[in-house]
Amino acid sequence: MSRQVRDYIRTIVDFPKEGILFRDVTTLFADARGFRMAVDQLLHPYTGERIDKVAGLEARGFILGGAVAHQLGTGFVPIRKKGKLPGATIAQEYTLEYGEAVMEMHDDALAPGQKVLLVDDLLATGGTAEAGIRLIERLGAEVVGCAFVIDLPDLGGRQRLEALGMAVHALCAFEGH
C-alpha cells in the first residue's frame, strides 16, 4: 500500500500544552520521499498558472515555500514575525488565542500586479494566513491561492480564508486541534 502525506506526520500529545495534539511535520521533512510528495502535491493545482512569487509564513512555511518556489522556478518571499527582517517592512497585526501578534514583510518584496502563492504547513484558525494575505494585498499583489500540508477544519481557518475569497488547498486534514 502506498503512503500518503498524512502517513509521514506524527502526532505529539499534550504539546505545547495539555490537551493539544500537535501535528509535527518535521517527520515529513526528514523523509525524502514524503517531503518530495508534499512539495509536488502543494504545487500541483497551480501548474500552468502564472505565479510570480511564493510567500511562506514563518517558520515551516519557509521550508515548504522555498521548495515550492524552486520547483515553480520563481522567487520566494518570507513573511516573518515582527522584528526579524532587516530592511524596511510593512506590518499586519492579527489575533491569537491569547492576545495579538504582528507579521511583517519587506516593503519592496512584491510589485503591484504580481501573482503570489501563499504556503504554510498548517491551517488552524487562519489568523496568520490572513495577516499574510493582507500584507501581500497591501503591496498591490494578488494571492492566487493558499496551500497547506495540514488543515485543522474544527478551528475554522479554511472558512475564514474562503470568506476572504481565497482558494484553499490542503493535502490532509486532522480532526481536533
Report pLDDT digits (tens) over 76-103. Answer: 999 999 999 999 999 999 987 777 999 9
pLDDT of residue 15: 92
pTM: 0.96
pLDDT of residue 99: 79
Q: Is the dihedral of CA 77, 81, 84, 85 positive or negative?
A: positive
Omega before 167 within 30 of 0, i.e. cis:
no
> Taking the domain 49-173, which CATH number applies?
3.40.50.2020
Residues 6 or more apart whose Cβ sits within 8 Å of residue 52: 74, 75, 110, 114, 115, 116, 141
DSSP string, 7-38: GG-EEEET-SSTT-EEEETHHHHHSHHHHHHH
Report pLDDT digits (tens) over 64-76. Answer: 999 999 999 999 9
pLDDT of residue 59: 94
Nearest CA among 88, 94, 90 for reference residue 140: 90
Question: First-to-last CA distance in the chain?
Answer: 28
Domain borders along the chain are 49-173
pLDDT of residue 106: 98
pLDDT of residue 24: 97
Cβ–Cβ under 8 Å, residues 174 and 21: yes
Nearest CA among 174, 129, 127 for reference residue 150: 174
pLDDT of residue 98: 72
Nearest CA among 134, 130, 113 for reference residue 168: 130
Host H or E run for residue 148:
strand 142-151
- Of residues 23, 49, 50, 60, which has the active-site annotation? 60
Report pLDDT digits (tens) over 5-61. Answer: 999 999 999 998 898 899 999 999 999 999 999 999 999 999 999 999 999 999 999
Active site annotation includes 60: yes
- Of residues 18, 97, 100, 175, which has the active-site annotation? 97
Active site annotation includes 97: yes
Nearest CA among 80, 96, 75, 86 for reference residue 135: 80
Report pLDDT digits (tens) over 102-136. Answer: 999 999 999 999 999 999 999 999 999 999 999 99
Residue whose C-alpha cell is 502525506: 5
The pLDDT of residue 177 is above 70: no
